[in-house]
Amino acid sequence: MFYFTIIGTSDNPIYEAEFTTAKNTFQPEIKELNPYIVHSTLDIMEYLQWQRQPQLDINTSSGGFLRSRHSTQENSYLGKVDSFYGLAVSGFLTYGNIKFIMVHGNGTVDDTVTRSFYYEVYELYLKTLMNPFYKVNDPISNSAFDSKVRVLSKRLFV
Amino acid sequence: MAEQIINPSTTHSTKVAGQGYDYTIGPTQTLPNTSTATTSGTGFVVPTTGIYGQSLISKEKQVSLSAYAFLFQSIVSYHRDSSKNVQEIERKLNSSGYTIGMRLTEILNFRDSVPNKTGLTNMDSVAGTITNMKRRNLKILETLQYIHLTVWQYLFSRPSNDLVKSSERDNEYMIIDNEPTISQFIQHTSVQCESFTCGIIEGFLDMAGFPCHVTSHFVEETGFSNRTVYLIQFDKAVVERENLRQ
């Protein structure tokens, strides 16, 4: 199960979704906590935002030198940025400093899958932004966007 | 919308996934009965047309200069008629440029991340071809270089003529254009029509995380009567942050 949010430039949520299956659903008490977990991650994201090489100790301990070499090349996808009692949190920053944050209910972040998910969602977000009637930081209420993101979410469960 | 009560996220039993996000309701779940329904199409149809079906990689598009000049003239005269003073006209021109600039931050950088752009103009989704996103620009100079080269190339099909740092104040930078494209048919007036371009620069830098204020000034030079200097004044916080990371 995953809880995915897009956070605007003034720390306002502009899109939220839960990706669950019949077997994997968030417990009601965790479900209520998810927005708070994301909120506390915002501070870490803002810390990483202006780092030349965004790196956290939790990344280096798990990934070895390949992981750290990678982060010198890219600073949009941040990988695992936070954890909360067995839940993992991953993050992505767009060029306009919109934050994509996801709570991974299974406690691990599969970098390849998560990265490609973020890229695809970023493309969808960009298409929303290209609409001249959409203002930055407005909630994205388009049902086509919602459906497309949910279709993309399926690859997370593989 | 504003009067609706914001419910806790567990009380969304009436909301069906695939109907769009509603911030008064909170996240909708991918319910077990809807996650498999994509093919059968019960309330979870993925539309193939509309803005989400178009490619973000555009073909080389050019607009006729006369048509553009006519449109720009209409914009300026519209703002002139609806404003009380010169500052208001310039502010309105600035804000219409701003909305363009803030989109350019995202779209131009994204396009730069896509390798081999040829042949992708008809694909709906190009994100699959990206292996690594281009690095976000974190330094003032990197970002200004990007405007000076890439943004100018995108807007006016050529880089700007110069990029200068002010020797007096360390938060001031100048982009210089000898022959500004959009105001080339406009004589020197009390209204700075280049406020539109200022708005584009300002929107671009604001979104990229470099809040600033941009003004334009005519600085004539022999041969270039419309030579324009875009003066970029960054907020103090931007310069402080820059100094911290050195």
Question: pLDDT tens, B46-83?
Answer: 666 677 877 888 777 788 889 999 999 999 999 999 99
Looking at beta carbons, which residues of chain B come within 8 Å of A129?
103, 106-107
Q: Which of B44, B107, B127 sits opposite A120 (nearest CB)?
A: B127
Mean pLDDT, residues B30-43: 48
CA angle centred on B38, ends B33 and B41, rounded to 5°: 90
**Can you give the pLDDT at residue A119?**
92
Q: Which residue has the tokens 């949009």?
A: A76
Whether residue B243 lies within 8 A of chain A, CB to CB, comes out as: no
**Can you give the pLDDT at residue B116?**
73
What's the CATH code of the domain at A43? Answer: 3.30.450.70
Distance CA B154, CA B201 (A): 13
* Mutation target vs A (from B11, B35, B123; most A CBs, 10 A cutoff): B35
Min Cα distance A102 → chain B (Å) is 12
How many contacts, defined by CB atoms under 8 Å, are there between A and B?
A: 152
Nearest chain B residue (CA) to A14 = B23
Q: Which of A20, A119, A147 sits opposite B130 (nearest CB)?
A: A119
* Mutation target vs A (from B13, B52, B130; most A CBs, 10 A cutoff): B52
Contact B20 A141 (CB under 8 A): yes
pLDDT tens-digit readout, B163-216: 999 999 999 999 999 988 888 888 877 888 899 999 999 999 999 999 999 999
The answer on pLDDT for A72 being more than 70 is no
Whether residue B240 lies within 8 A of chain A, CB to CB, comes out as: no
Sheet holding A13-19, edge to edge: A77-84, A87-93, A99-104, A2-7, A13-19, B28-29
How does residue A31 score in pLDDT terms, banded at 50, 70 and 90?
confident
Mean pLDDT, residues B132-160: 91
User: Number of folded domains in chain A?
Assistant: 1
A150 close to A1: Cβ distance less than 8 angstroms: no
Q: What is the mean pLDDT of chain A?
A: 84
How does residue A142 score in pLDDT terms, banded at 50, 70 and 90?
confident
**Can you give the pLDDT at residue A107?**
85
Query: CA nearest A136: which of A4, A22, A1, A6?
Result: A6
Spell out the domains of chain B, with CATH numbers in brackets.
65-245 (3.30.1380.20)
Looking at beta carbons, which residues of chain A come within 8 Å of B21?
15-17, 139-141, 145-146
Contact A50 B138 (CB under 8 A): yes
The answer on pLDDT for B39 being more than 50 is no
A122 close to A94: Cβ distance less than 8 angstroms: yes
pLDDT tens-digit readout, A75-106: 888 888 988 888 999 999 999 999 999 999 88
Tell me the torsion sign for CA atoms B58, B20, A100, B100: positive
Contact B9 A32 (CB under 8 A): yes
Looking at beta carbons, which residues of chain B come within 8 Å of A74?
132-133, 135
Query: In terms of residue numbers, what domain contains A126?
Result: 2-156
Looking at beta carbons, which residues of chain A come within 8 Å of B32?
20-22
Contact A96 B102 (CB under 8 A): yes
Whether residue B56 lies within 8 A of chain A, CB to CB, comes out as: yes
Contact A50 B245 (CB under 8 A): yes
pLDDT tens-digit readout, B87-123: 999 999 999 999 999 999 999 999 888 887 766 666 7
A79 close to B135: Cβ distance less than 8 angstroms: no
Looking at beta carbons, which residues of chain A come within 8 Å of B103?
129-130
Min Cα distance A64 → chain B (Å) is 19
Contact B106 A13 (CB under 8 A): no
Contact B106 A96 (CB under 8 A): yes
Highest mean pLDDT among A48-62, B117-131, B225-239: B225-239
Distance CA B188, CA B88 (A): 18
Min Cα distance A61 → chain B (Å) is 23
Min Cα distance A129 → chain B (Å) is 7
Nearest chain A residue (CA) to B8 = A32
Task: Give Cβ neighbours of residue B77 (< 8 Å, ≥ 6 apart).
Answer: none
